[in-house]
Amino acid sequence: VPAPPAQMMDDKILDGEDIGYVPFDRPKKSKSDSGTDVDDRLPGLPRYVRINTLKKSVNAAHKEAAAAGYQLCQEPNPPGNRCYFRDDLVPDLMVFKPKGKSDISRLPLVAAGEMVIQQKASCFPALALHPPPGSVVIDGCAAPGNKTCHLAALMQNSGHIFAFERDERRCDLLRRMMELKGASIVTPCHASFMDADPTDSTWSTVTHILLDPSCSSSGMSKNPESDPEALKELATRQEEMILHAMRFPALQELTYSTCSVHEVENEEVVLAVMRAQQQQQTVPGAKPGAKGGKKQKAPNHPNQHRFTLEKALPAWPRRGHEL
C-alpha cells in the first residue's frame, strides 16, 4: 500500500501583502503574514484578485467588474488600464494592471468580501493541498486568513477547517475575515498549532494540513531577516512544525510554504524533515533495505505512514532544487 503523499513547496515568487481589504483597524503586522506591500516595491507587478466563490459566482463577478468599467480580455497584458485577464494557473484569479493604474481596491466586490486582493504566490499553498469537500483540515498559521478562505472555497464550504492563531488580536482579525468572506466551515482557534496534541480525539479525522509559518519574509519585505543564526533558528522551528504535523494519525497530505527566498528555510527544511522521519520510522540497528528494516511507528509518532515528497502544481515551471 503506497504511503500518503506530503505535498511540500516553497512559493519563492514574491508574495504580496496577504491581508487585502480589511474594513476595520489592522493589528500590527508581523513577519508571518505581511511586509511592505509588494506593489509599492515593484510598481510594474500586476495586481491579483481572487474571486471568492463562497459569496459570488465567477460569471457574476465578471459582470459586476464590467459594470464598474473593467473589461475582460482573452490575452495576457492587454492594453488599457481598465482591462484584466484570467490567470492561466490559478482558477478564479483575475489579473489587473499594476497599482496606480487600476484602482481595484475600491470595487464594491472587494469591500463585500466577494473578491480578495491576494498575490498569486499566496494562492499556491491551498491550491496545492486542494482538500476535497467534506475534508477535515488544519491551517496551522492562519491569520489573517486569505489562504484559509481559499481552502474553504476549494472545499465548497463543506467539511471543517481548524484555523490556528496564537495572537489574540490576530485571531480576532481572522474571525472577522472569515465572517466577511462567508467561510462558515472555519473554526478559529486562539492557540499555537504546536500545542495541539495529535493524539487528542479532536484531531482524529484531520486529513490535510496547511503550514505557512513565520519566516524571514525575504521574498516580500524591504528589511528581511538575513542574519545566519536567526535564519537557522527560524528553520529549526519550521522543521519542528512540519514534524509535529506529521504526527496527526489520519493525515494524508500537507503543504509547507514560505515567503522566503533563502534555501535554509525552503529546500533545506524539507530535506531535514524527510531525513528526520526516515530516522524516526526505521527500526534502530536495521540496515536500509534489510529484512529487519521494516517501517514502524516511532515513539510518540502515531502516524505510522512514510510521507513522500510530491511535485506540487506540475504546471508551474519554476521549481526549487531537487532533494
- Describe the crossing of helices 168-181 and 146-154 by its angle, rounded to 10 degrees: 40
Q: 113 φ, ψ to 5°? A: 75, 15
pTM of the model: 0.79
Superfamily designation of domain 38-120: Sun protein; domain 3 (3.30.70.1170)
To the query of whether residue 259 is one of the catalytic residues in this protein, the response is yes
149, 189, 215, 259: the catalytic one is 259
* CATH 3.40.50.150 domain span(s) along the chain: 5-13+122-310
Would you say residue 19 has pLDDT above 60? no
Task: Look at residue 1 and give its three-state secondary structure.
Answer: coil
pLDDT in tens, 191-220: 999 999 999 999 999 999 999 988 777 776
pLDDT in tens, 66-86: 999 999 998 887 788 889 999
Task: Look at residue 118 and give its three-state secondary structure.
Answer: coil
Angle at 63 between CA 58 and CA 66, to 5 degrees: 125
Rounded Cα–Cα distance for residues 18 and 6 (Å):
24
Residue 35 contacts residue 29 (beta carbons within 8 Å): yes
Would you say residue 6 has pLDDT above 60? no
Beta-strand ranges (E) seen in the chain are: 5-7, 47-51, 71-73, 83-86, 93-96, 115-117, 136-139, 160-164, 186-189, 208-211, 253-256, 308-310
Would you say residue 306 has pLDDT above 90? no
pLDDT in tens, 134-163: 999 999 999 999 999 999 999 999 999 999
Task: Look at residue 136 and give its three-state secondary structure.
Answer: strand
The amino acid at residue 47 is R
188 labelled binding-site residue: no
Would you say residue 104 has pLDDT above 90? no
142 labelled binding-site residue: yes
Place of cell 478562505: 149
Mean pLDDT of 288-303: 40
**By mean pLDDT, which of 11-15, 110-114, 129-133, 278-282 is the weakest?**
11-15
* CATH 3.30.70.1170 domain span(s) along the chain: 38-120
Topology of the domain covering 5-13+122-310: Rossmann fold (3.40.50)
Rounded Cα–Cα distance for residues 53 and 224 (Å):
34
Angle at 88 between CA 322 and CA 180, to 5 degrees: 100
Q: What is the model's pLDDT at position 304?
A: 54
Q: What's the alpha-carbon Rg for the chain, to the nearest Å?
A: 20
Q: What is the model's pLDDT at position 294?
A: 30
What secondary structure, in 3-state letters, does 214-238 show? CCCCCCCCCCCCCCHHHHHHHHHHH
183 labelled binding-site residue: no
pLDDT in tens, 252-280: 999 998 887 777 777 888 888 988 887 76
143 labelled binding-site residue: yes
146 labelled binding-site residue: yes
Residue 289 contacts residue 243 (beta carbons within 8 Å): no
Q: What is the model's pLDDT at position 262?
A: 74
Q: What is the model's pLDDT at position 100?
A: 63
